[in-house]
Every structure is written in C-alpha cells, then in structure tokens.
Structure 1
Amino acid sequence: MAGVLALLCVGGGITGYVLYERAATPDRSAPDVVVVSYLQATFVARDDNRAKLFTCTGLLPSVDDFRNQMVSRERELDAVFSINIEDVHVTMTSKSSAAVQVVVRRSATIDEVQQSLADAWRFEVVDQKEGWRVCSGERLR
C-alpha cells in the first residue's frame, strides 16, 4: 500500500511540474506570436520583466521610448489608451530570421469623443534555441 501511495505522489509531482512548465514558459513558437506577445507585455501589461522574455537582449529603446511617450500623453489627457495589435505580417528573411510588420492602434475617449491613432512598426526577429526572439524594432513613418 505504501509503495502505491509513493508512486502516486511521485507521478503527481511530475505531472504538476510538467503542467507548471507549460504554463510558465512563454510562447515563442513563431515570429508573429513573439512580436504580439512582446507588444502586449510592453504596451498592455506594461511589464518590463515579461517583455524581456521575448527579446534578444532586453528592452528595445525605440519601443520603450514610445511607451513612455504614450504614458505621458495619457497623463496629460487624463485618459487610458486601449491598445490593439493589428495587421500582423511576417516576411521570412532566412530560415532563422524574419521581419514582422504590425500596426499598433491606440484608442481612447477624450472629451466624450472616441479617438484613435495608428502607428506602423517593423520588428526583426531571430529563431534561437528557446524559440523566436525580438531583436530590434522601429516605428515606420
């Protein structure tokens, strides 16, 4: 009886560990997935630690500056922007690198009027051992 109980405990522990690893590991399975996840962590959750999980080297200065400008603008307008990531297009540049273009739409109600701004971005991503990572990003004019 003790042997069966021990096996159940070990099996439960292994199952718990596997399920935890799946839930805790960020999805970096494709270029578009990693870019959208990075942007959601940066602009929606505003979680730098989460955003770093999707990058090659940490925060991207151009994206970080844009987020800081957005936060300042929210304070000035006394509004909170709703962020949507739209029109995601992937162009494979090699087997292990790609360019991803997206539109980041900021929407808010200001003075009782719904307003929206859209900015086009281009990101360079590479496939590393643990999956795809965002290495650079620039806002397109």
Structure 2
Amino acid sequence: MRTVLTVVAGVLALLCLGGVATAVVWYNRASTPDRSTPDVAVINYLQATLVSRDPNRAGLFTCEGAVPSVDEFAADVAGRERELGVSFSINIEDVAVTETAGADATVVAVIRRSAAIDGIHQSLTDTWRFELNDRDGWRVCAGSRIS
C-alpha cells in the first residue's frame, strides 16, 4: 500500500510541475512584445506611442528609450487635439520593410490622422522612415518624417 501511495504522489507531483511549466511558457508568450519582424515592431511601437499613448509599452520596442522625433510628433498631435477640441483617429498604413542588411532594417510607414472638425471629416497623412536594429528582437532606433 505504501508503494502505491508513493507512486501516486510522485505522478501527481510530476503533473503539477508540468502544469506549472506549461503556465509559465504560455504566460511568457502572451506577455512578451512581438518584435519578430521589423514591420511588426514598427506597428507595435506606433500603436503604443500614438494610439495607446503608453511610453512604458513603447519603450519595449525601442533601442534606447524614446525616439525624440516620434515623441515630438505625438506631443504635436495631442496639442492639436486640445486646441481643436477633437480626438484624432490614428491609423498606421502601408508599412513596408524597404531595406534589410544583417541586423539592421529600414521601414517606411504612413501615419494617418483623421477627425471630424466642425462636422467635416478631415484627414492628414505623413510618411515616416524608421531605422531598426535586431537586438533580441527588432527595435526602433530612429524615425524621421519624409513627407
């Protein structure tokens, strides 16, 4: 009887450890930001910076903290929203990797700001170029408006 209880306890312990290991793996997959490709990293970075306005989340997608040009753009958008009394809808469009060389990549994206101002739907677009580096996942190192 003692042998049976020891075997059952051992099997239950192994099942519990396996369950804990599975939970840890699932949690890591769910909580790790997706930096698998340059274009995905740019989209996630822009979503965090311009849509969610979450600098902590945005920092997960950058090389060394903030990207000043994008932060200035986000501050300008927020200022225009306050000035006009509207909320802009931000869309990230036409994201394309234009160049990849080893651990470096260049991505071009169009950022569209839309709002209804005085009952008239208006939209502005800006094309941006982002420089990325693969540092345990792709990260945005620089960004500049090109039109």
Q: TM-score range by the shorter chain?
A: over 0.9
1:1-141 to structure 2, matched below 5 A, reads 1-128=8-135, 130-141=136-147
TM-score normalised over the length of structure 2: 0.92
What is the TM-score with the length of structure 1 in the denominator? Answer: 0.95
Structure 2 SS opposite 1:15: helix
Partner SS, residue 62 of structure 2: coil
* Alpha-carbon displacement from aligned partner over 1:78-109 (angstroms, at most 9, x marks no partner): 11111110111212241211111110000111
Over the matched positions of the two proteins, sequence identity in percent amounts to 61
Please, which moves more after superposition, 84-93 or 105-114?
84-93
CA RMSD of aligned residues (A): 1.0
Residue of structure 1 in register with 2:3 after alignment: none
Larger radius of gyration: 2
| Secondary structure, counterpart of 1:91 in structure 2 | strand
Q: Number of residue pairs matched?
A: 140
Unaligned runs of at least 5 residues, structure 2: 1-7
Residue segments in structure 1 that go unaligned for 5+ positions in a row: none
- How far is the alpha carbon of 1:7 from its aligned partner? 1.4
